[in-house]
Amino acid sequence: MGNLLQTTIELTVGLFALLILTKVMGKTSFAQITPFDFISALILGELVGNAIYDNETKLGTILYSVLIWGMLLYIIEWSTQRFRKTRKFFEGNPSIIIQNGHLNRREMKRNKLDMNQLQHLLRQKDAFSVREVAYAVLETDGQISVLKKQKYDQPTYEDFKLKEDPVYLPVTFINDGVVDWENIKKAGLDENWLDKQLYEQRIDHYRDVFYLEWKYDEGIYLEKM
């Protein structure tokens, strides 16, 4: 009877400890599961599971294990928010799998993605043929984002006999006040162009910009700090 009571107490404490930890870490961890988040969930479950069903493990050990692991997770989450260079290591980067309607075989190989898997992911986005897709981005959580060619989008341009315009992918130029000069260079632009855009928005410095993206046909979209 005593063992049953102890197991009940440990299960209850373990449940609420994990619940509090997930609340502290924030809701985005549920919507965007990165490889690091997946490993963290496995380890947390293993820690609490072993602690509960090990008769020699005390209640304090469960709380201590959850607390230490929670602190490590919090430190890593804080570092990814504070230092942009750590994001690539812990969260990874999105990969462009289809670009300008063509398969990027190098990125597919790097992400261990074969055609059957890609077609499966595309069908989940209502794209039943690669020819329908202008751009496809493999996100860090394993999901795929699809930008269809205009003639295959709904409603289709062919239905209205409209001229088909080229499709352009938005490019991030500033994120968290830091300029991605490589993206600007690839877009054929330079620092003078960027300074002019910020001047027109009455912004004195890059660090005053939270997010800035650019599309060839639509110009810039900007959010201030």
**pLDDT for residue 30:** 45
Q: Containing domain of residue 190, as a range?
A: 171-224
Query: Are residues 127 and 178 both part of a single domain?
Result: no
* Domain membership flag for residue 98: yes
CA nearest to 170, candidates 69, 56, 94, 75? 94
CA nearest to 134, candidates 194, 223, 217? 217
CA nearest to 125, candidates 149, 145, 151? 145
Place of tokens 């600007």: 184
* Domain membership flag for residue 74: yes
pTM attached to this predicted model: 0.56
* Domain membership flag for residue 83: yes
* Domain membership flag for residue 6: yes
Query: Are residues 85 and 111 both part of a single domain?
Result: no
Q: Which residues contact 166 (CB under 8 A, 6 or more apart)?
A: 217
The domain total for the chain is 3
Query: Are residues 76 and 33 both part of a single domain?
Result: yes
Last residue of a domain, one of 90, 124, 140: 90
**pLDDT for residue 135:** 92
Residue 143: CATH number of its domain: 3.30.240.20
What are the backbone angles phi and psi of residue 155, rounded to the nearest 5°? -70, 150
Query: Are residues 23 and 40 both part of a single domain?
Result: yes
Query: Are residues 20 and 44 both part of a single domain?
Result: yes
Q: Report the chain (225 residues): mean pLDDT per 10 consecutive residues.
A: 61 61 51 57 65 63 70 73 68 82 86 84 85 87 84 72 77 87 90 90 87 86 81
